[in-house]
Amino acid sequence: MNQNKPVAVVTGGARGIGEAVARRLAHEGFAVAVLDLDAEAAEPVVAAIRETGQSAVAVGVDVTDEVSVEAAIAQVEKELGPPIVLVNNAGITRDDLLHKLNAESWDTVLAVHLRGAFLVSRAVQRHMTTARWGRIVNLSSVSALGNRGQANYSAAKAGIQGFTKTLALELGRFGVTVNAVAPGFIVTDMTRATAERVGLTFDEFTERAIREVPVQRAGQPEDVASAVAYFVREDASYVSGQVLYVAGGPRS
């Protein structure tokens, strides 16, 4: 049961950073809709949240499909209530060097990150503007600054930052803040896939990454979740249009 708790939506919430964010928002007192391409994949996260006595539902959605997004947000409203917090976390990688990068990989990555953030934000914002209060947090990346073999992903994550700042300008007068979190090296399935792509074991890949991190450790999904939790707080209402790099220090 929701018991009139404020409702948060987390896309790509079945694993990694999305899972950590969903769990943290539940801990902060939100009823959480865990959205993922496969609702079944999100069920373990929902079950874990419910075990703590908090409310959660798993919802299947293709964030690149307009009809699917509208149906998913309608389901969230029906089962939990109108969402007033959104974390656009859904994302994929299709890494390759430019001369080998095909158009399908380019289109797919930009569709999930940019079209997805656009469609879900558009569907949720009407609930926020009606409530005269809302929080949108978009997941960018240090790759927005450029990263070899990630022309598509870097372009998408840079686009997320522009999208964030524009929504902050448009929605601020309705009491809605919009910010972005840009993680550095975080231990997730996605970074494991990157290690495999470059022909390294994950331990080797992690060791190399840590050498470039000033705090000399790998980031964890919970590090990102903590930043998201800050942005959705009531007392963060004067912070909007910002990009917070959660990367263990400035990039060299």
- Residues serving a catalytic function are 153
DSSP state of 115: I
Tell me the C-alpha distance between 229 and 235, whole Å: 11
**Crossing angle, helix 16-27 and helix 39-51, to 10 degrees?**
30
Could you give the 3-state DSSP secondary structure of residue 54?
Answer: coil
CA-wise closest residue to 31 among 52, 60, 62: 52
Residue 238 CA, distance from chain mean position? 21
CA-wise closest residue to 45 among 19, 24, 63: 19
* Length of the chain (residues): 252
